[in-house]
């Protein structure tokens, strides 16, 4: 059975460790973290070590730490020639120390400590330097998710930018909407069915076709009325920028 | 039983007519449309009329037409003193002709012909000019939805602006993400679980607390790498505007 060890103690490390621990196709060998106490409440607590020299021989090591720490963690590993992958969307494979065989396992999802995630649905973007290692990495990935994609570093970085638009920026628009609701004393919860439907719709309809609203209709009286209701220049700037972009796209699609 | 007639043949008119037709607490009396043929495939086809003088006495008339047509449709109604409401988020109650009792029933959802909507979950924002009419309008609204909110025209307009941010603009960000995926030859479907989780998360966590990503972390190397990957000035403008806004909000919240 494939033996996997995790390095890290954050959200991604915890979700991955739990997923591997629950899989019957892979053995979670160890979890290494300098902050052993962060993981003591978890079901795999007995496998946690804070001694880097106490790391046993695994088939795959998954470094799930912050982007800026990946390089130094990979350099500090006290072994060579083993398969080591990181989990970042934006860090190149080449950031990993070349003394080990290198790869990437990037789970494309937003992880919070408080939210349960069905890991079996999380898309995993895989990359290996040596094509021979792809079989092993895929085997480990398939043990925890039904959604596996091979891509190179450039494609993975593009996915990461796309995810910033589709998730980080989207969430910020939710925050702005919530602020408007508060300012005009209406409950933000009213918007939730609309938000869920907008997100669900695009699984059936390409987002370009799903577009609605005053920008698309070039409904100037409504656009002006909206701008007049917005509380500050930042709101107005975002409203104008996105309205203009929708209209630009609409034109480009018609031509 | 409350008798309701619908005026209009678009998405909102059809969804409302179906919802009233399926309710046992309200009687769908008639549906008026100049384009009778648009509605012939629907279960209430027998109730459709294209003769304005053929409109029978109902307790409530719901004008579900485009914003710009509301005024003229309300003026053309061949009766007085009855309760007439429109369904727009951005049009004032006063746009309706004062010869009838006036109100608003604004369903806060995005309607497409192709998507089934559980109308029972759609928030309905209600307003009546005469407080005495609120009982009747609420009764009709409760017959089709479990989610009823009373608000004035100003609050309804604010909801409508908030919905533009949370739905129209959000959908445009999905379209930009889809375009990036296409340009770098990765399937857009990879993003769907992330998009759904981002939308679902805010029912548990206020969006300001749910924020993640390079803008929030002020991760300049990643932000620069993303900007370098974006295909044109419009993409860059939106990336910069939203990144800046996230950082501004973050500061404001910390202070």
Cβ <8 Å between B180 and A192 = no
Residues in chain B: 255
CA distance A95 to B83: 69
CB proximity B110 to A under 8 Å: yes
Residues B119, B142: contact at Cβ < 8 Å? no
| Locus of tokens 């409950």 | A187
The pLDDT score that the predictor gives to residue B115 is 81
pLDDT tens column, A181-238: 999 999 999 999 999 999 999 999 999 999 999 999 999 999 999 999 999 999 999 9
Cβ atoms B172, A211 nearer than 8 A: yes
Does A169 sit within 8 Å of B242, measured CB to CB?
Answer: yes
Which of A123, A164, A242 is facing B226, going by the closest CB pair?
A164
- Comparing CA positions, the residue from A4, A100, A92, A7 lying closest to residue A48 is A7
Euclidean distance between CA atoms A153 and B251, whole angstroms: 33
Distance CA B42, CA B38 (A): 9
Please answer whether residues B173 and B147 qualify as being in contact, where contact means their C-beta atoms are separated by less than 8 angstroms.
no
pLDDT digits (tens, 9 = 90+) for A13-45: 999 999 999 999 999 999 999 888 888 888 899
The pLDDT mean for chain B works out to: 94
| DSSP per-residue string spanning A107-140 | E-S---SSS---GGGS-EEEEESSGGGHHHHHHH
- With 60 as the cut, is the pLDDT of residue A66 above it? yes
pLDDT (0 to 100) of residue B140:
98
ipTM for the predicted complex comes to 0.92
CB contacts under 8 A, A 79-98 vs B, are 90
pLDDT exceeds cutoff 70 at A255: no
Q: Which residue of A has its CA nearest to B196?
A: A199
Position A254 scores a pLDDT of 67
* Pairwise CA distance, residues A144 & A104, whole Å: 15
In order of A59, A231, B93, B143, B241, the CA distances from B246 in angstroms are: 41, 16, 36, 41, 9
Q: What is the pLDDT of residue B254?
A: 67
If pLDDT is split at 50, 70 and 90, which confidence band does B55 have?
A: very high
- Interval A40-60: pLDDT, tens: 888 899 999 999 888 999 999
Q: Which residues pair with B181 in a beta bridge?
A: none
pLDDT at B255: 53
**Residue B35 confidence (pLDDT):** 84
Average pLDDT value over all residues in chain A:
94
B170 sits in which H/E element: helix B170-183
Taking the Cβ of residue B70 and every Cβ of chain A, the question of whether any pair is shorter than 8 Å is answered with: no
Identity of the residue in A115, A166, A172 whose CB atom sits nearest the CB atom of B245: A172
Closest in B166, B186, B216 to A177, CB measured: B166
CA B81 to chain A, closest CA, distance in angstroms equals 29
pLDDT for B242 beyond 90: yes
Whether the predicted pLDDT of B105 surpasses 70: yes
Whether A144 and A16 have beta carbons less than 8 Å apart is answered as yes
- Beta bridge partners, A32, equal A7, A49
Tens of pLDDT along B205-218?
A: 999 999 999 999 99
> What is the model's pLDDT at position A164?
98
- pTM higher than the cut 0.95: no
**B106 pairs with which residues across the strands?**
B125
């Amino acid at each position: 059975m494939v033996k996997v060890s995790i390095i890290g103690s954050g959200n991604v490390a915890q979700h991955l460790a739990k997923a591997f621990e629950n899989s019957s196709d892979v053995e979670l060998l160890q979890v290494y973290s300098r902050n052993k106490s962060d993981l003591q409440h978890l079901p795999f607590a007995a496998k946690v070590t804070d001694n880097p020299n106490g790391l046993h021989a695994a088939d795959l090591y998954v470094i799930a730490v912050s982007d800026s720490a990946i390089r130094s963690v990979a350099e500090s590993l006290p072994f060579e020639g083993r398969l080591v992958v990181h989990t970042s969307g934006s860090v190149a494979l080449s950031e990993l120390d070349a003394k080990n065989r290198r790869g990437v396992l990037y789970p494309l999802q937003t992880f919070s400590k408080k939210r349960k995630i069905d890991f079996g649905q999380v898309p995993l973007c895989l990359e290996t330097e040596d094509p021979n290692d792809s079989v092993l990495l895929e085997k480990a990935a398939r043990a925890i998710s039904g959604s596996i994609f091979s891509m190179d570093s450039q494609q993975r970085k593009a996915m990461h930018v796309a995810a910033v638009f589709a998730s980080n920026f989207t969430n910020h628009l939710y925050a702005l909407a919530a602020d408007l609701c508060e300012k005009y004393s209406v409950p933000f919860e009213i918007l939730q069915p609309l938000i869920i439907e907008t997100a669900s719709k695009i699984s059936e309809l390409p987002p370009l076709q799903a577009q609605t609203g005053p920008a698309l209709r070039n409904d100037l009286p409504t656009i002006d009325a909206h701008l007049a209701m917005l509380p500050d220049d930042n709101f107005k700037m975002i409203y104008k920028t996105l309205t203009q972009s929708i209209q630009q796209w609409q034109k480009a699609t018609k031509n």
